[in-house]
Chains A and B, each alone.
Chain A
Amino acid sequence: MALSFLHRDRTVAPPGYSRWLIPPAALCVHLCIGQAYAFSVFNLPMTKLIGITQSAPDDWKLTELGWIFSLAIFFLGASAALLGRWVEEGGPRQAMFTAALCWAGGFFLAAIGVYLHSLWIIYLGYGVVGGFGLGIGYISPVSTLIRWFPDRPGMATGMAIMGFGGGAFIASPLSVWLIGKFSTPTHEGVAETFIVMGAIYFCFMMVGAAIVRVPPPDWVPEGYVAPAEPKRLVTTQNVFVYQALRTPQFWLIWWVLCLNVTAGIGVLGQASAMSQEMFKGQITAVAASGLVGLFSLFNMGGRFVWSSTSDYIGRKNTYFVFFALGTVLYAIIPHSGAVGSVSLFVLCYAVIFSMYGGGFATVPAYLRDMFGTRYVGAIHGLLLTAWSMAGIFGPVLVNYIREYNVTHGVAAAQAYNATMYVMAGLLIVGFICNALIKPVHERHHLTDAEAASARGSMTPAGE
């Protein structure tokens, strides 16, 4: 078959292949799909496609455009959950190729939507098709990285997931530059920018698909010796993907991720407004945008630093740090506003955002520790529904608490205080969930016969 080169069997690494080629392969995908975080740069130009200098009555509203990103994130979670098993079975090259097709296809459809001025086509293109590209692309390299780096799984997956945080840094200036190049006094160059970006991303992701390899069966890194005494919270067994759903550990980690993301994502979108309102006269709108960029760097850096740290201190301890330190920092933020300390505010926020990113990057290795390497990619896909849920809860929580305070006469500068305490409370719940995580009971492990059967297939014997 023409596309057989995509299959897992055709991607087994030859002797002498360096495992350090896998992180750049993963980054090729994650740097591209990370563009999603920078989609907001299109919002303003897309509200002036007809009016050009200002919005015309038939131009789209910001509230309508906001759904594009929300749909993409929803379908990220949905596709990762639905297709995780297919991604694991087919191997990373097939998944990366499909993700590239969906992601680039989403941009091309969105360009048609702009050209025809049909928002529904953009919803379908970037939101649904692109969202599938996001979900498949996000989980595509995870289990491959974990298999290549059994000695440092946190660092390996952290590198890829750092790329998702870093993609916006490339996409944002690139998009602005391209729109400027294609725009004329009578035309906004959004459709052309979508086409060029779709083409660039397709090529970039295909390079990743070409480089990626899976390790030969039973491969271990040179000089690597598995610990003689397995750690209590690191299993040497495997749990089947759907069996994982029947364990309390899966749902506890689901809540751990959901609560960590809810707290972070809730204030992420409000960081600019919050800093200006809490420090009126000290932080201008321009300075606030600079701050948001700075926080995004911490979000990206935290993905690598915290996940790498988790290889040494353990996954459970890493999340204990996130929840304990996060609780203290969220509780300090209102104090920083009260005493007018911008530097304390920035420091608290920088650490909070590093831990927000770190939560995403550390969770694949946590799943590997609990459920083994065999189905970790598919289980990770199912877990990403926690992200979709947090993406709804977090911003809603922050906006509604602030609105409630303002309508009840609380000054704008103090309107976020209650939000911060609620976030601190959520992190305490997360701390408890993390504390309850124990090793998976052996009745959930694959038997030797099932494990042998599962080597060539995703379905264990008897399923």
Chain B
Amino acid sequence: MIMPTNGEAAMGNNGLKLILAWGFVGVPLVWGVAQTLLNAIKAFH
């Protein structure tokens, strides 16, 4: 069995943390921007 090195483990750990952290702020922001765009489109129609 191939064991991950410390560096690889840290990178994998960082990858998960990065997805969680960016998702935590990105999802609400994208939702808010989408709501604004939808309202703008509705207003023009």
Nearest neighbor of A296 in chain B, beta-carbon distance: B36
Tell me, yes or no, whether A24 is within 8 Å of chain B by CB.
yes
Task: Identify A16's interface contact among B14, B18, B39, CB under 8 A.
Answer: B14
Given A28-B25, A31-B28, residue A21 in contact with residue B39 (CB < 8 A)? no
Tell me, yes or no, whether A169 is within 8 Å of chain B by CB.
yes
Nearest neighbor of A295 in chain B, beta-carbon distance: B40
A239 to B6, CA, bound (A): 40
Chain B interface residue number, banded: 20 to 34
Asked if B43 and A169 make an inter-chain contact with CB atoms under 8 angstroms apart, the answer reads: no
- What sequence of 0s and 1s flags, for each residue 1-36 of chain B, a beta carbon within 8 Å of any chain A beta carbon? 000001100110110011001101110110111011
B29: A residues at CB distance < 8 A: 27, 31, 163, 166, 169-170
A291 to B41, CA, bound (A): 9
The DSSP consensus for interface residues of chain A is helix
Asked if A290 and B25 make an inter-chain contact with CB atoms under 8 angstroms apart, the answer reads: no
Asked if B25 and A173 make an inter-chain contact with CB atoms under 8 angstroms apart, the answer reads: no
Asked if A287 and B17 make an inter-chain contact with CB atoms under 8 angstroms apart, the answer reads: no
Tell me, yes or no, whether A294 is within 8 Å of chain B by CB.
yes
Nearest neighbor of B9 in chain A, beta-carbon distance: A16
- Closest beta carbon of chain B to A320's beta carbon, Å: 30
Asked if B40 and A31 make an inter-chain contact with CB atoms under 8 angstroms apart, the answer reads: no
Nearest neighbor of A14 in chain B, beta-carbon distance: B10
Asked if A287 and B44 make an inter-chain contact with CB atoms under 8 angstroms apart, the answer reads: yes
- Closest beta carbon of chain A to B37's beta carbon, Å: 7
A70: B residues at CB distance < 8 A: none
A296 to B39, CA, bound (A): 12
- What sequence of 0s and 1s flags, for each residue 81-92 of chain A, a beta carbon within 8 Å of any chain B beta carbon? 000000000000
The tally of CB-CB contacts under 8 A between chains A and B is 78
B13, B18, B24: residue with the most chain A Cβ atoms closer than 10 Å: B24
Residues 168-213 of A at the B interface (beta carbon under 8 Å): 168-173, 207, 211
Task: Tell me how many residues of A have a C-beta within 8 Å of chain B.
Answer: 32
Tell me, yes or no, whether A286 is within 8 Å of chain B by CB.
yes
Task: Identify A166's interface contact among B32, B41, B44, CB under 8 A.
Answer: B32
Tell me, yes or no, whether A268 is within 8 Å of chain B by CB.
no
- What sequence of 0s and 1s flags, for each residue 25-68 of chain A, a beta carbon within 8 Å of any chain B beta carbon? 10110010000000000000000000000000000000000000
A300 to B44, CA, bound (A): 21
A170 to B31, CA, bound (A): 7
A5: B residues at CB distance < 8 A: none
Asked if B28 and A290 make an inter-chain contact with CB atoms under 8 angstroms apart, the answer reads: no
Given A27-B25, A207-B24, A287-B43, residue A20 in contact with residue B18 (CB < 8 A)? yes
- Closest beta carbon of chain A to B35's beta carbon, Å: 5
Asked if B43 and A291 make an inter-chain contact with CB atoms under 8 angstroms apart, the answer reads: yes
A287 to B41, CA, bound (A): 9
- What sequence of 0s and 1s flags, for each residue 284-308 of chain A, a beta carbon within 8 Å of any chain B beta carbon? 0011111101101100100000000
Given A16-B10, A286-B43, A290-B43, residue A211 in contact with residue B21 (CB < 8 A)? yes
- Closest beta carbon of chain A to B14's beta carbon, Å: 4
Tell me, yes or no, whether A236 is within 8 Å of chain B by CB.
no
A28: B residues at CB distance < 8 A: 24-25
A257 to B32, CA, bound (A): 28
A297 to B44, CA, bound (A): 16
Tell me, yes or no, whether A18 is within 8 Å of chain B by CB.
yes
Contacts from B to A (Cβ < 8 Å): 6-7, 10-11, 13-14, 17-18, 21-22, 24-26, 28-29, 31-33, 35-37, 39-44
Contacts from A to B (Cβ < 8 Å): 15-18, 20-21, 24-25, 27-28, 31, 163, 166, 168-173, 207, 211, 286-291, 293-294, 296-297, 300
Listed by A's residue number, 15 A-B pairs whose Cβ atoms lie within 8 Å are A24-B26, A28-B25, A31-B25, A31-B29, A169-B29, A172-B36, A173-B32, A288-B43, A290-B39, A290-B42, A290-B44, A293-B36, A293-B40, A294-B40, A297-B33
Those 7 A-B pairs whose CB atoms lie nearest each other, nearest first: A290-B43, A169-B32, A16-B10, A170-B32, A24-B21, A290-B40, A27-B25
